[in-house]
């Protein structure tokens, strides 16, 4: 499990993902917690250019951080 911090001060708790890139899109889209479904977890969708950083919720350690400015969609 990880926490994904998105532009616009949004945070998504992620257990699993499905991702893809539609024809004409510059960035991949990510759908979270969809397969298998996780009881009590929300299913969310975002684009990879919205990600500010990815954090381990148990330690607060940054796993990955953007080197640019995340986009608010």
| Domain ranges for the chain | 2-65
pLDDT tens digit sequence for 29-40: 999 999 999 999
Percentage of residues in the chain having pLDDT higher than 70 = 100
Mean pLDDT of 58-67: 97
In this prediction, residue 63 carries a pLDDT of 98
Please state the pTM of the whole predicted model. Answer: 0.91
Query: What CA–CA distances, in Å, run from 64 to 34, 35, 60, 69?
Result: 22, 23, 12, 14
- Beta strand pairing call for 45-47 and 2-6: unpaired
Mean pLDDT score of the chain, rounded to an integer?
A: 97
Q: How confident is the model at residue 56 (pLDDT cuts 50, 70, 90)?
A: very high
């Amino acid at each position: 499990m990880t926490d994904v911090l998105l532009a616009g001060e949004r945070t998504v708790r992620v257990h699993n993902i499905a991702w893809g890139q539609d024809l004409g899109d510059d960035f991949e889209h990510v759908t979270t917690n969809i397969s298998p479904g996780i009881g009590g977890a929300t299913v969310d969708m975002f684009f990879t250019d919205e990600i500010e950083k990815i954090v381990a919720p148990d330690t607060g350690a940054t796993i990955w951080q953007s080197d640019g400015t995340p986009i608010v969609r």
